[in-house]
Structure 1
Amino acid sequence: MTTSEVLLTADADGVRTLTLNRPQAYNSLTVELKETLLAALREAAADDAVRAVVLTGSGKAFCAGQDLKEHVGLLQAGDPAPLRTVKDHYNPIVRAIVDMPKPVIAAVNGTAAGAGAAFAYAADLRVAAASSSFLMAFANVGLGPDSGASWTLQRLIGYGRAAELMLLGRTVDAAEALSLGLVGEVVPDDELAARAHAVAAKLAAGPTVAYAKIKSVLTVAAESTLDEALAAEDAAQGALGSTADHSEAVEAFVTKRKPNFQGK
């Protein structure tokens, strides 16, 4: 398992919690943190004992996005490609979140800005603390969106709202995020960790093999024709119909007991 001072990892109830741990810098993203997070996400995807993932931050922020001190250092040093981190780090991280074959819950505990917000958008579910906020800060520093935000945000709240948040670069508080559909739930700050874990643990106890297919079918449907979506659904149902989890669910229904899913 990946261990690092900049990323804390904890396992319980089939849930792996990954905590960005640079609180003094609002969990802003250095090369070290990005590489460590990417490795940890890939490890979680490959570990059958991990059935759901929670991504959160330590301290007062979820993630403030790119560490600007590191970025300024590259600019001042005359780096010919100071934003190659988009291709090298941000894009693979977002793919690892979106392609994770198990549910990913973002527990947004404070400010989520730039790439940090985009990581939350890429998750399957978002639970937010009452003091949390979201900021698409790219235009404020003369840049466009990255980390998949152009794809994920408009799928969550629509093109018009996504364009507004990106062009105006304004902060969205937790209450507005809930009303926009940007997050699914807002809880008191001191209840966030427990609530996110409870949601993840519930999913971890479920038919995770089906969850993986649900995620893949939704991704296909988001960018396909109806016929392509129907074909993807048919293929998924054909595969899931022969799983042990499906047989267990049917038997549990007939015998009126709670199913015991194994993710197989």
Structure 2
Amino acid sequence: MSEARNPISGCPAVDALCDLIEQTDRDLDCRVVILTGAGTAFSTGGDINSMRPGHGLGEAQPARTRQNYRQGIQRLPLLFEIIEVPVIAAVNGAAVGAGCDLACMCDVRIASEQAKFAESFVKLVLVLVPGDGGAWLLPRVVGWSKASEMALTGDLLDATQALACGLVSKVVPADKLIEESRALAQRIAASPSHAVRMTKQLIRESRLSSLSVILEASAAAQSLCHTTADHDEAVNAFLEKRQPVFAGN
């Protein structure tokens, strides 16, 4: 996929990514996922060849195009919204169009100094709208004003600009990107996996729910945490003045 700069609009690419994410989410021994791109790009979004009239996403019949989106790329944001395993996007290069939105689906984004971001649907050769949920995702990452600016202009942001608007949490040299992403993954993985997964879900739910709803969900999650062996280990380790050893139980 690297020669094509990692397009994600085709069903085979979506199927492969969905299958991989679903497998890791089912594996409770998997503490965190790092998602990056092959070659020099994170993902340049849609495959332009699939958008020619009468081909792939650009079917001649609007009803068929609608189904292609629903059965194809729109499966990704729906899946990323319900998985429990934390996902780090290690953005190594261009993340434009659907590639930018894919990065926004992840929980944390770290960018190399070579990374570029654009919500570019309205310009270039596409002249489209965000068909993959970008209109929902991007405002929740960078805020309504910046999201509107990005989506309505299609302008390209460099890594420094992405950091300034909160699109990424860190910018690192290109040759340190995976190292830094793994270091973050290790810090996440060092915490009890059940608590991490439930904390992630509470953060996700908080974007749509009232405080009272989140408090109820937090109380329910907390009651489960109190029953885990990792909770007992944490308490005992604190009282015994030693480092805890979490087994994910």
Question: TM-score if structure 2 supplies the norm length?
Answer: 0.91
Once the two structures are overlaid, the 10-residue window that deviates more, 253-262 or 169-178, is 253-262
Tell me, yes or no, if the aligned pair for 2:29 and 2:248 is still in contact at 8 Å.
Answer: no
1:129 corresponds to which letter in structure 2? Answer: S
- The match for 1:254 is 239
Please name the residue that 1:171 is paired with.
156
Matches within 5 A, 1:227-238: 227-238=212-223
Give the aligned partner of residue 41 of structure 2.
61
Between stretches 104-113 and 68-77, larger displacement belongs to 68-77
Q: 1:74 aligns with which of 30, 50, 56?
A: 56
**Alignment of 1:121 onto 2:104:** yes
Query: What are the superposed Cα offsets for residues 87-106 of structure 1, whole Å, 9 maximum, x if unpaired?
Result: 11222222322322121100
- Deviates further, 51-60 or 222-231: 222-231
Tell me if the contact between 1:98 and 1:123 (Cα under 8 Å) persists in the aligned partners. Answer: no
Structure 1 ranges of 4+ moved more than 6 A: none
Q: Distance in 1 between matches of 2:69 and 2:210?
A: 30
Paired amino acid for 1:51: R
Q: What aligned pairs does 1:13-92 form with structure 2 within 5 A after superposition?
A: 22-29=1-8, 30-72=10-52, 73-74=55-56, 78=60, 80=62, 81-92=64-75
Q: In structure 1, what is the Cα distance between the partners aligned to 2:59 and 2:216? A: 52
Supply the AA of the counterpart residue of 2:150: L
Structure 2 unaligned spans of 5+: none
The corresponding residue for 2:129 is: 144
The separation in 2 between residues aligned to 1:172 and 1:157, in whole angstroms, is: 12
Flag the 1:25–1:231 CA change in 2: closer, same or farther, 3 A: same
Say whether the 8 Å CA contact 2:84–2:197 is kept in structure 1.
yes
Residue 190 (1) aligns with residue 137 (2)? no
Query: Which residue type is aligned with residue 228 of structure 1?
Result: V
1:19 matched residue in structure 2: none
The CA deviation at 1:66 is 1.1
Supply the AA of the counterpart residue of 1:90: I
Q: CA deviation at 1:76?
A: 7.2
2:23 & 2:80 partners in 1: Cα distance? 12
> Among the aligned pairs, what percent are the same residue?
35
Question: Aligned in 2, Cα 1:76/1:240: closer, same or farther, shift over 3 Å?
Answer: closer
Give the superposed CA RMSD. 1.7
Deviation of the 1:83 alpha carbon: 4.8
* d(CA) in 2 for partners of 1:143, 1:104: 28
Aligned residues: 243
Tell me the amino acid that sits aligned with residue 184 of structure 1.
S
* SS of alignment partner, residue 134 of structure 1: strand
User: How many angstroms apart in 2 are the aligned matches of 1:225 and 1:46?
Assistant: 29
For structure 1, which segment, 105-114 or 145-154, has the greater mean C-alpha deviation from structure 2 after superposition?
A: 145-154
Q: CA deviation at 1:175?
A: 0.2
Shift in Å at residue 84 of structure 1? 3.1
Gaps of 5+ in 1: 1-21
Post-superposition Cα deviations, 1:98-131, rounded to whole Å, max 9, x if no partner, equal 3221211000000001111111111111111001
Task: Show the counterpart of 1:180.
Answer: 165
For 1:13, the equivalent position in structure 2 comes to: none
Amino acid at match of 2:196: Y
In the alignment, structure 1 residue 133 sits paired with structure 2 residue 116: yes
Q: Which moved more, 1:84-93 or 1:132-141?
A: 84-93
Deviates more, 1:40-49 or 1:142-151: 142-151
